[in-house]
Structure 1
Amino acid sequence: MLREVEDRVLWLSTAIVHHANRVRPNPSGLKVGGHQASSASMVSIMTALWFGQLRAEDRVSVKPHASPVLHAINYLLGRLDRSYLTRLREFGGLQSYPSRSKDPDPVDYSTGSVGIGATAPIWGALSRRYVDTAFGSAGTGRQFSLVGDAELDEGAVWEAVMDPAVAELGEVVWIVDLNRQSLDRVVPTIATDRLRGMFAAAGWQVITLKYGRLLEELFARSGGAALRDRLDDMSNPEYQRLLRCGADELRRRLPGAGPGADRIAEWVAQRDDATLLEAIGNLGGHDLDALDDAFRAVDDSRPTVIFAYTVKGRGLATRGHPQNHSSLLTEEQMRALAARVGADPDDPWRNFPDDSDAAALCARVAERLRRPEPPPRAVPVLPTDIGRTPSGTATTQAALGRVLLDLTREAPEAARRVVTVSPDVSSTTNLGGWVNKVGVWSASERPNWFADDSESILQWWEKPTGQHIELGIAEVNLVGLLGELGATWSRWGQPLLPIGVLYDPFVARALEPWSFGIYAGGQSILVGTPSGVTLAPEGGAHQSITTPSIGLEQPGSVTYEPAFAIDTEWTLLASLALLGRPDGTSAYLRLSTRPVDQTLAAVPADPAARERRRCQVVSGAYALRRHDRARVTIAAMGAVVPEALAAADRLERIGTPADVVCVTSPDLLFRAVRARQGREQADTWILDQVFPDDRANPMVTVVDGHPHTLAFLATVNRVPAISLGVTRFGQAGSVADVYRHHGLDADSIVRAALDVTGSP
């Protein structure tokens, strides 16, 4: 029955791609694409896994190019409507690669960004353990990754594999589809021994499935040992060429010219053509019994990797061809495949007869894998304003830690849902107080050997109730975990409020996996700090320039860059309130280490006026200073707001009064501009309050980042504008020196204001 299901999965996955490219009308003429050969190499593995091993509590990340196999299996299990089989890569149809948020059938992990989908189950396992120790009800279950061998070239894979926290995750199982081909070629040296050694060195169990049962039995015959040595020593391209041979040519090529050639030739002579042709491609990754044995051998005390040797295009006319990656079977080849596997090319989506053993198997598996939807839980109510008015001198980075501590007192139930993650920078990003308060998460309690050391300011208590997770210095790991922590509301019905903190220059390094996590439904807050050239003494290597633009452009996220501690509090609380819910969204906060006089914020004392200011802050901007005779508007963001205020003071003295607007979110302001144009749905009231028509003066924008971030503000009232910012790599020096170098200082703002107003 299982082999019958395997054949039908092969047919359906191949037919899904065939229909999209050769049957469905394509008026544009653009390539639709799909991967019949890459899917075929996974059919046996996925058939054995789904129909023999998976439980409802297990989850699987499927390699991107095998998405048709996943859809074929879901169809046989009654989890995908037949109508979708003809809609691969069609608008509103099946996605190009498995998508948890966009595909109509069950997908556990979104994949498509190579290496990121492979590692996601690691962070899923860690997140499940965190939820289970904190709130219970997350259950158990293995976390499988079906990985293409080419994905092992990705650095993200090894950053995850080598992290010390991963060695304890026994529920993680990777199955490497070792077909030894990339997009363009047969890879000459896969170096499987080296890969096995690297996994073993990281504490993983390593299982290798190289040959199938038929070959293993034939190796035991006379001459078989020499054949094994020949195949083991053979280069990948030579082996792949043998897969393309007919029986006569295979008999000539297989013995080779080595010392065992005579014994191999004798072995070959004793085999009939059918056995010989079947044996040469009989690899462990296509042997259902061998796969089942491998799954049963998994050691749950540590992560496991199974290297399953496969043939790319196995079962297809294109098997083993170096350029079969995106190749398509012809109509004639499709009909030949149908005849071999018992399908009907004229009724390609026909399911098993209701009274057949295969249909009964599918029904049993579907029932076994039925997964109830977790009951939704709402995040406990969060305050919008803790009520303090900061005074003195403070940084927005330090405000982050203070707000988290305040939250534990003001809203302890909500604070219990907060989990922070950082790559070994907790103390330098002002999370020390929070870490001391809530502790470091660990699946089991560990002693703090420095608890009695009076000079230890940061207390590293590792315990199951901790709320901070520390990873190694690998930003990709941090945001990978952040995305999965942000998806627990939909996986187990337990919403978390995850906050990841990293140095802002490294946001770009972490961007792709964080963005992919958002695409997959993970809601989180990413805090980049310290930021900008304001980090003056550190020099250009640690100064971020493009991150404000990243925040403006990232889908599924709101970005904030507060100038004052109170702005940090309000924007952080607003961002937390948007996490862990079906209509939620992520956030990116760009914070600074520059000490700023907090009285410059001029927070209104009247409660109603204070609430109005808060609403403006979380909506994108507020008027920090108004002048009855203003001739210019200075719109500034973040750490450079003090320079904008100083410039306004000087401009007033020389007869060019200025309004000063503090921008907290260029992202939200840009959405408001587009909404006013009828291009998207968003509130526009903030533009009316902060940039009213009757104050449509020439504008100077200034930001510690690329100047185009705020340049669009001139379009609100269609006024002349000069945009100041950073367009070159940074320099080391004092803040005053660096600001002067980049044209962010008060002198530069004054000059720009005089230029844009045409003042003499």
Structure 2
Amino acid sequence: MDAMTTETQAAADRPGSVAAGPAERDLDVLRAVEQRVLWLSTAIIDHANRVRPNPTGLKVGGHQASSASMTSIMTSLWFHELGPEDRVSVKPHASPVLHAVNYLLGELDESYLTTLRSFGGLQSYPSREKDPDPVDYSTGSVGIGATAPIWGAVARRYVNARFQDGGSGRQYSLIGDAELDEGACWEAILDPGVAELGEVVWIVDFNRQSLDRVVPNISATRLQGMFAAAGWQVITVKYGRLLEKLFAEPGGDALRARIDEMTNPEYQRLLRCSATQLRERLPGSGPGSDKIAALLEGLDDASVDAVIRNLGGHDLGALTDAYAAIDDTRPTVVFAYTVKGHGLATAGHPQNHSALLTGDQMTELARNVGADPERPWERFPQGSPEAGLCERTAARLRRDPAPLQPPPAVPTDFKRTPTGSGSTQQALGRALLDLTRQAPGTARHVVTVSPDVASTTNLGGWLNKVGTWSPTERRDWFADDAETILHWREQPGGQHIELGIAETNLVGLLGELGATWSRWGRPLMPIGVVYDPFVGRALEPWSFGMYAGGQSILVGTPSGVSLAPEGGAHQSVITPSIGLEQPGCTAYEPAFALDLEWCLLAGLSRLGKPDGGSTYLRLSTRSVDQSLAGVPADPAARERRRRQTVAGGYMLRRHADPSLTIAAAGAMVPEALAAADRLAELGVGADVVSVTSADLLFRAVRARQGLEEGSDWILGQIFPPERARPMVTVLDGHPHTLAFLAGINQVPSRTLGVTGFGQSGTLTDVHRHHGIDADGIVGAALDLTD
């Protein structure tokens, strides 16, 4: 194992915390609780796999070893350190430990202990939305749950700066050491703003095992150096007090050096040895081996067996000492050395990740921890010191639910009709500025986030208007430069957050900004802007944020092949279907500026409430003649167009005697109209439908089929059966996104779109290359109508 490197800084107890170092008698009570948590978490998994009927025979699982690895850390944290305002993200495979802790604190009914991984029961991994007991952060997607408390800290600070009601408290992440392999962790750690978040604490369960084996080359020293270089405080809890005491004995220096220098696999092998084998193997053959042998000679077999397992991550006193040393002026990482499967018969085995204890081993565990296998869910006796500790902890951690403030009313229409030419990307910036003028109370709740692309995605005007958020005010040294167009006024009252270029960080922050309504009762309206080709890169954490209850708007712009000169690297093909398929999200691809305005306002109206949801806006840089939208002048007709637009689409052109329908989305609507004009000259009439949301139209189809709740009224208005004709669909993305439209009325169809990597060239060249120009649409239409 790596040589021990420890950086600690003593700190006074933070307000509201319990005593920094428990007395030995208190540690005895804490150990008893730890043993009961170990038993309960193991028994929860055992019941799901060996006791509960399993008629299908499919594996259930539950990770007994991974849970046992975290038992000491979580017991010491909950029953000694946490305050009511603190929040904890628990590593996915330790969810049974969280349920065991919540059960002892009276936050989980006993009936749920037999439901792990069953339908409607305890979830496989902690879930804010689905578990019946308190869960601060949903985890399960490796690396995403680990970083969520960082963005939760930013969200809380933002709420406090803007509305003064975000509370306080630390933000803990309990993570496995293998989770540090995920790039999402380092993208977050290295963001410059994270170094200012002193409330962030990561505790690494450093058991040096992955799913399949002992990791031979994992290096705590290297990882510690990386955290320190990013400005984090680094605390290492490597050895327990028993080993530290032995190190002070004659020969102890040699023993420390021997353990420090041995490889991880060699150390793990020692955990599987008997006391006799340990006396033979532990001294090794190097310098000092005779001193180590003599030192061990003075110990009985039980002590020799205990010593090799006495790591800091299982020593409650060492852990509480580490918590007392946390410096709240910067982020902290605690490396807690542990044994995977600690306290179980499978402890330290390289393949114990999915191993389950046998019935005999469960009986032995019950005997070791003082539990009754016949009454596995028994709590501590009333009046016992352990029951008293549970009661005091529950009272200390009781968190009154924040009253939910209703989100502000969102206007549906600014009553302005854009003229001239412009793109939907440009319209986004104008719509945000219009919001500040026409609904300032609503605009106050909007916060925008971008990864170093604010100016290139047309947020410059908004940014200049509302300023950039920063925990403290910073001087703008270019404020007096006449040639500077974009001004970075960084202050606590700003409403734009600029991150580094990592999209994963952006959507992680979006998820947490979008969850403030459920955490502190304060609804925000977060809007993230990213280049559409990188939506795929950001998709997993954004999707997981929605799974955890985060509601936000993600803007992908520019999209498709509209950046033709930049070639295939910056041309998104699959994002329209991503929008259609993503749960918890409504996707729009508007063609005109007014469509964008209406869709944006509809998306804002869904944010910050229990029945709300997220929105994905796929925008383009292509300049479009806005008169093509044909916006009705009559107020009632205009409102009808708006309702159809936000419901999925509208009939843009209705022919007196149509031979076919052209359904187009987004930036391809001008080509559809041009093709319809040419077809008319050939005697072929065409209806033209502007599809603003393939997502909503598909949901309407499923509602018509009785497959989900909802209404199908929009289908009858834009695809009426009496006007059913052969159909051509076209969009700047994969053609299968709109292919289902022909099934609404069971008509023949041709689906046009982009199916390959892009080419550099003019927009005309690239549209022709992919067959989505007017020529391509006319050709497909003639194929159908002939």
Using the size of structure 1 for normalisation, the TM-score is: 1.00
The corresponding residue for 1:242 is: 270
Task: Return the alpha-carbon distance in structure 1 between the equivalents of residues 345 and 726 of structure 2.
Answer: 68
The corresponding residue for 1:339 is: 367
* C-alpha deviation, 1:191, in angstroms: 1.0
Q: What is the identity, as a one-letter code, of the residue corresponding to 2:565?
A: P
Task: Return the alpha-carbon distance in structure 2 between the equivalents of residues 379 and 478 of structure 1.
Answer: 23
Q: What is the identity, as a one-letter code, of the residue corresponding to 2:230?
A: A
3-state DSSP class of the match of 2:580? helix
1:414-456 deviations in whole A, cap 9, x for unaligned? 1000000000000000000000000000011000000000000
* 1:507 aligns to 2:535 (yes or no): yes
Which of 672, 682, 687 is the matching residue for 2:700? 672
Q: What is the identity, as a one-letter code, of the residue corresponding to 2:244?
A: E
The corresponding residue for 1:410 is: 438
Q: What is the identity, as a one-letter code, of the residue corresponding to 2:589?
A: E
The corresponding residue for 2:5 is: none
* C-alpha deviation, 1:260, in angstroms: 1.4
3-state DSSP class of the match of 1:427? coil
Which of 757, 769, 772 is the matching residue for 1:744? 772
Which of 143, 155, 162 is the matching residue for 2:171? 143
The corresponding residue for 1:487 is: 515
* C-alpha deviation, 1:756, in angstroms: 1.4
The corresponding residue for 2:297 is: 269
Matches within 5 A, 1:461-472: 461-472=489-500
5+ residue gaps, structure 2, are 1-28
* C-alpha deviation, 1:189, in angstroms: 1.5
Task: Return the alpha-carbon distance in structure 2 between the equivalents of residues 130 and 335 of structure 1.
Answer: 51
* C-alpha deviation, 1:190, in angstroms: 1.1
* 1:361 aligns to 2:389 (yes or no): yes
The corresponding residue for 2:14 is: none
3-state DSSP class of the match of 1:635? strand
Task: Return the alpha-carbon distance in structure 1 between the equivalents of residues 693 and 427 of structure 2.
Answer: 18
The corresponding residue for 2:608 is: 580
Task: Return the alpha-carbon distance in structure 2 between the equivalents of residues 669 and 21 of structure 1.
Answer: 43
Matches within 5 A, 1:626-641: 626-641=654-669
Matches within 5 A, 1:194-593: 194-593=222-621
3-state DSSP class of the match of 2:738? helix
* C-alpha deviation, 1:693, in angstroms: 0.5
* C-alpha deviation, 1:268, in angstroms: 1.3
The corresponding residue for 1:608 is: 636
CA RMSD of aligned residues (A): 0.4
Task: Return the alpha-carbon distance in structure 2 between the equivalents of residues 680 and 668 of structure 1.
Answer: 12
* C-alpha deviation, 1:360, in angstroms: 1.1
* C-alpha deviation, 1:687, in angstroms: 0.2
1:520-575 deviations in whole A, cap 9, x for unaligned? 00000000000001211111000000000000000000000000000000000000
The corresponding residue for 2:158 is: 130
The corresponding residue for 2:626 is: 598
Q: What is the identity, as a one-letter code, of the residue corresponding to 1:50?
A: W
Q: Give aligned pairs, total.
A: 758
1:244-280 deviations in whole A, cap 9, x for unaligned? 0011111111111111111111111111111110000
* C-alpha deviation, 1:375, in angstroms: 0.8
**Identity of paired residues, percent?**
74
Task: Return the alpha-carbon distance in structure 2 between the equivalents of residues 577 and 720 of structure 1.
Answer: 38
Task: Return the alpha-carbon distance in structure 2 between the equivalents of residues 538 and 417 of structure 1.
Answer: 36
Using the size of structure 2 for normalisation, the TM-score is: 0.96
Q: What is the identity, as a one-letter code, of the residue corresponding to 2:510?
A: L
3-state DSSP class of the match of 1:428? coil
Task: Return the alpha-carbon distance in structure 2 between the equivalents of residues 677 and 177 of structure 1.
Answer: 49
3-state DSSP class of the match of 1:214? helix
Task: Return the alpha-carbon distance in structure 2 between the equivalents of residues 291 and 265 of structure 1.
Answer: 29
5+ residue gaps, structure 1, are none
* C-alpha deviation, 1:312, in angstroms: 0.2
> For structure 1, which segment, 256-265 or 599-608, has the greater mean C-alpha deviation from structure 2 after superposition?
256-265
Q: What is the identity, as a one-letter code, of the residue corresponding to 2:738?
A: L
The corresponding residue for 1:6 is: 34
The corresponding residue for 2:26 is: none
Task: Return the alpha-carbon distance in structure 1 between the equivalents of residues 114 and 533 of structure 2.
Answer: 45
Task: Return the alpha-carbon distance in structure 1 between the equivalents of residues 117 and 397 of structure 2.
Answer: 27
Task: Return the alpha-carbon distance in structure 2 between the equivalents of residues 660 and 732 of structure 1.
Answer: 29
* C-alpha deviation, 1:471, in angstroms: 0.2
1:138-176 deviations in whole A, cap 9, x for unaligned? 111000000100000000000000000100000000000
Task: Return the alpha-carbon distance in structure 1 between the equivalents of residues 661 and 458 of structure 2.
Answer: 34
The corresponding residue for 1:163 is: 191
Task: Return the alpha-carbon distance in structure 2 between the equivalents of residues 462 and 402 of structure 1.
Answer: 22
Q: What is the identity, as a one-letter code, of the residue corresponding to 1:389?
A: T
Which of 196, 208, 220 is the matching residue for 1:192? 220
Task: Return the alpha-carbon distance in structure 2 between the equivalents of residues 355 and 364 of structure 1.
Answer: 12
Which of 180, 189, 194 is the matching residue for 2:208? 180
Task: Return the alpha-carbon distance in structure 2 between the equivalents of residues 731 and 83 of structure 1.
Answer: 60
Task: Return the alpha-carbon distance in structure 1 between the equivalents of residues 401 and 102 of structure 2.
Answer: 17
Task: Return the alpha-carbon distance in structure 2 between the equivalents of residues 17 and 189 of structure 1.
Answer: 31
Task: Return the alpha-carbon distance in structure 2 between the equivalents of residues 653 and 591 of structure 1.
Answer: 32
* 1:42 aligns to 2:70 (yes or no): yes
The corresponding residue for 1:116 is: 144
1:24-72 deviations in whole A, cap 9, x for unaligned? 0000000001100000010000000000000110000000000000000
Task: Return the alpha-carbon distance in structure 1 between the equivalents of residues 621 and 653 of structure 2.
Answer: 24
3-state DSSP class of the match of 1:305? strand
Task: Return the alpha-carbon distance in structure 2 between the equivalents of residues 376 and 223 of structure 1.
Answer: 62
Task: Return the alpha-carbon distance in structure 2 between the equivalents of residues 173 and 3 of structure 1.
Answer: 23
Q: What is the identity, as a one-letter code, of the residue corresponding to 1:417?
A: H
* 1:153 aligns to 2:197 (yes or no): no
Q: What is the identity, as a one-letter code, of the residue corresponding to 2:558?
A: P
3-state DSSP class of the match of 1:717? coil
Task: Return the alpha-carbon distance in structure 1 between the equivalents of residues 113 and 103 of structure 2.
Answer: 8
Task: Return the alpha-carbon distance in structure 2 between the equivalents of residues 103 and 272 of structure 1.
Answer: 46
* C-alpha deviation, 1:380, in angstroms: 1.4
Q: What is the identity, as a one-letter code, of the residue corresponding to 2:754?
A: V
3-state DSSP class of the match of 1:429? coil
Task: Return the alpha-carbon distance in structure 2 between the equivalents of residues 60 and 141 of structure 1.
Answer: 10
3-state DSSP class of the match of 2:387? helix
Task: Return the alpha-carbon distance in structure 1 between the equivalents of residues 247 and 81 of structure 2.
Answer: 29
3-state DSSP class of the match of 1:559? strand
